[in-house]
Structure 1
Amino acid sequence: MSAQEAVAAAFREEWGQVVATLIRVTGDWDLAEECAQDAFAQALDRWPRDGVPRRPGAWLTTTARHRAMDVLRREAVGERKIREAAMLTAPEEPYDDSGVEDDRLRLIFTCCHPALHIEARVALTLRTLAGLTTPEIARAFLVPEATMAQRLVRAKKKIRNAGIPYRVPPAHLLPERTTGVLGVIYLLFNEGYAATSGADLVRRNLCAEAIRLARVLARLMPDEPEALGLLALLLLHDARRDTRVDAAGELVTLEDQDRTAWDRAEVDEGAALLETALRRGRPGPYQIQAAIAACHTTAATAADTDWADIAALYGELVRFVPSAVVRLNRAVAVGMAQGPDAGLALVAELEREDELSGYHLLPATRADLLRRSGRTTEAARAYERALELVENDAERHFLEKRLAECRSA
């Protein structure tokens, strides 16, 4: 591995740790990021000449700390700033009473504090833990760079002004806050796996960053079954990623995907993680969703899929997440297990409630069930409605293709 490759690898693995450590000791998010960037720049300059250090993360953290100390000394105004500079050379003490001393975990929980808007949580997590630049984050979420920059500034300012603590929450708040952290990582993966808008259905960089963060969380919280369940879920979904669109960029449905092209290593790892999580005896929504994904990825062919088991699992998931979207997914599973009419009855209930009136997958699901039952004229009308609502180009092309099939039937 060349020195440049070593720096790139260290950036992927160590950025979050370096930034997290500097935020803890300085309390200054912008200074932490600036000094971390400087440390990596120095690595690019020195490692080709001096060789890659035995512990790249320690070298980068020390270099960044020294840089932060220099900045604080230059900017020192009165005793307060001098004390801040002194902190950088003082022995490190546990920062909170949670029993968890890993700075990355503190940073995840700080980025995902419930006082921050969900979009700010995701953006701040990408910026500080994954090291994505503001333009990269803006492109990922299809917003102007200036908008994303303002979002990040406001989030950091809120953390500072509201006195949001840089810590893992105490034990009695941990279950509630852990759910929020898992939710941010899940949302990040979903946006990468099935983009809500734009030309591409899959954005690989977001999927990769979500899986990386899920690995960090699972490693830092090995006794939390939902952390293991989330990582299992992401891996089982990601295993199918390359088969979800064809060479022309057109969407390929699950039943038509080439199962021999699925990433078997990810499938096996995801299944093993799920088994470990379930042995804890504390089931939760991510474990259930991972079990659903496992039903799909372990079926040799689409015809072998155990839809009755999937429908039952969705019934359990509704108990944990009683959302209309989960109920829509259950309608699909019931329709596959018991016949289209059974699924259509559940879709009709959702239509009467009107909670998903602007969600394109509601009419798309109705259209697919009608198509499967041979009612192509009604299916065509439902596909037309779905096309009025869809924003992603790959999904639009797929719906147009289905509509054409129904019209020519």
Structure 2
Amino acid sequence: MSTQRRIEELLREYAPQVLGVLVRRHGQFDACEDAVQESLVAAARQWPTEGIPDNPRSWLLTVAGRSLVDAWRSESARRRREEAVAALEPAVDPEDLGQWVADQDDTLVLLFLCCHPALSASSQLALTLRAVGGLTTSEIAAAFLVPEDTMVRRISRAKQQIKNAGASFELPPPPERAERLDVVLQVLYLIFNEGYTTSSGPTLRRADLTAEAIRLAYLLHRLVPDESEVSGLLALLLLTDARRTARTDADGSIVPLAEQRRELWDTAVIAEGLALVARTLGSGPVGPYQLQAAIAALHDEAPTAEETDWPQILALYEVLTQVAPGPVVTLSRAVAEAMVHGPKAGLAVLGTLDQDERMAHTHRLEAVRAHLLERAGETAAARESYLWAAKMTASVPEQRYLALRAARLLHLEPATDPAD
């Protein structure tokens, strides 16, 4: 692993932990978040030339603390504030404090803080992805399907609203915790998705993000073990992540699900996910994460791609469309429709998304359209959609995959009518 890559992973791992420590001490989320960002910038500049410190977390905590003091300093109160902050410095190395238990984990507390009811749902998601997930503003904008400058303003407003609300750094009481749970689940889902298929960059996935989303899902499951949707989300993440080693070949090229070597899937993780699904379904109201976990389970249980139970998957997507309608669900349902009733049926479902503005910032619609057009024998139209999708994505592996699909179609003879 390159030094730069190692630095990026360390900064992403420790940023939410350092922010949690500062907010727990000082209770000023906006100022603390700014201080942590200053420490990350300093680390990104110094560590490549000076080397990674022996204790990266303590280094970041020290620099962020100093930045916080500088921000508060004034001539009239300089000495009093510096002495107060110095008194709060840890007496022991943070690495000696041991593993936090689930209900005391600073990152989990930070997760609920960012989902404060004073914020709109979209602001809760954006702020948590920034503070807890460690995503950049551009990555968050891609996850929300909005322009980056829109996301910058949204995050700034959210930080100010947290400050104005006077939120304390502690887990909310059970009734309020339940109200915030839906947003917390959606945040973890988005963090995992950005890690599983990155929106930009040279690699298909980011193991640090998927691992952090799964870790937080485990913590949340321990905190509220009887919440069926929490169990459903954890099952979904496990069943999806179990396929990760088969998603690319030796040179990093994407391998579609139907072509993956299933012996590379993690059977132990699949078994854990399947057990969660079995315990969860029917134990309470059926929600979107349980339904998606059930769909993932059907994929993972199939010995071969040909043996996948597509009729059952389509039936689950039809229920999911009623429970949690949205363009991404429609996109997936179109694929299932095509597998059961043919590509023309899938293309008809896709057509309902053509005027949906939320799809204007993602390549997914054109990528799926290209796949279904190819299956329908419409080679020229499929190639055009593949090339258009390749231009729309900032992910290098996806660009390469889509461009290669288009190039392969260029060398095919004109397709005949499938009905002939």
Q: TM-score, normalised on structure 2?
A: 0.69
Q: Is 1:229–1:290's contact at 8 Å kept on the other side of the alignment?
A: yes
Cα 1:15–1:275 change in 2 (3 A) is: farther
What residue is the counterpart of 2:398 in the other structure?
395
Distance 1:247 1:316, change over 3 A: same
Please name the residue that 2:27 is paired with.
27
Equivalent in the alignment of 1:340: 343
User: CA-to-partner distance for each residue in 1:343-395, whole Å, 9 max, x for gaps?
Assistant: 11111222255652443121221111121122212212222322232221111
Identity, in percent, stands at: 43
**Counterpart in the other structure of 2:97:** none
Residue in structure 1 matched with residue 234 of structure 2 by the alignment: 231
Q: Distance in 2 between matches of 1:169 and 1:229?
A: 22
From 351, 354, 358, the equivalent of 2:354 is 351
Q: Any idea what SS the aligned residue of 1:314 has?
A: helix
Contact conserved, 2:202 with 2:397, CA < 8 A, in 1? yes
1:356-375, aligned counterparts within 5 Å? Answer: 356-375=359-378
Secondary structure of residue in 2 paired with 1:213: helix
**Range 261-270 or range 371-380, more displaced:** 371-380
Alignment CA distance shift 1:303-1:168 (3 Å): same
Alignment of 1:10-409 (within 5 A): 23-24=23-24, 26-27=26-27, 102=104, 104=106, 105-113=108-116, 115=119, 116=123, 118-126=125-133, 158-169=161-172, 172-353=175-356, 355-409=358-412
Q: Secondary structure at the match of 1:351?
A: coil
| Structure 1, 15-24 or 370-379: larger mean CA deviation | 15-24
Check whether the contact 1:126–1:137 (CA below 8 A) recurs between aligned residues.
no
Report the CA distance between 1:289 and its aligned residue.
0.7
CA distance in 2, matches of 1:352, 1:149: 26
Per the normalisation by structure 1, the TM-score is 0.71
Task: Give the number of equivalent residue pairs.
Answer: 347
Mapped to 2, the partners of 1:357 and 1:150 lie a distance apart of 20
Do the aligned partners of 2:363 and 2:390 also contact (CA within 8 Å) in 1? yes
Q: Deviations over 1:197-238 (max 9, x none)?
A: 111111111111111111111111111111111111111111
Map of 1:5 onto structure 2: none
Tell whether the 8 Å contact from 1:189 to 1:211 is kept in structure 2 after alignment: yes
- Kindly provide the amino acid, as one letter, of the partner of residue 27 in structure 1: G
2:403 partner SS: helix
Alignment check: 8 A CA contact 2:20 2:110 kept: yes
Q: What amino acid is the match of 1:121?
A: T
- 1:304-349 deviation per Cα after TM superposition (whole angstroms, max 9, x unaligned): 1111111111111112221111111101011011111111111122
- Residue-by-residue CA offset, 1:42-92 (whole Å, 9 max, x unaligned): xx89xxxxxxxxxxxxxx9xxx9xx9xxx9xx9657xxx98xx89x9xxxx
Question: C-alpha deviations, 1:252-305, integer Å up to 9, x for none?
Answer: 100011100011111111111222222422211111111111111111000011
Q: Which residue of 1 aligns with 2:96?
A: none
Deviation at 1:112, TM superposition (A): 2.7
| Cα distance, 1:398 vs structure 2 | 1.0
Q: Distance in 1 between matches of 2:180 and 2:192?
A: 19
Query: Distance in 1 between the 2:214 and 2:283 partners?
Result: 22
**Farther off after superposition, 15-24 or 183-192:** 15-24
Task: Indicate if the aligned counterparts of 1:192 and 1:205 stay in contact, CA closer than 8 A.
Answer: yes
Moved more, 229-238 or 111-120: 111-120
Which is further off, 117-126 or 25-34? 25-34
| Structure 1 CA distance for aligned equivalents of residues 284 and 13 of structure 2 | 32
Residues 383 and 103 (structure 1), Cα distance of their counterparts in 2 relative to 1, 3 Å cut: closer
Aligned to 2:416: none
Structure 1: gaps spanning 5 or more residues: 1-11, 38-43, 46-59, 89-99, 128-135
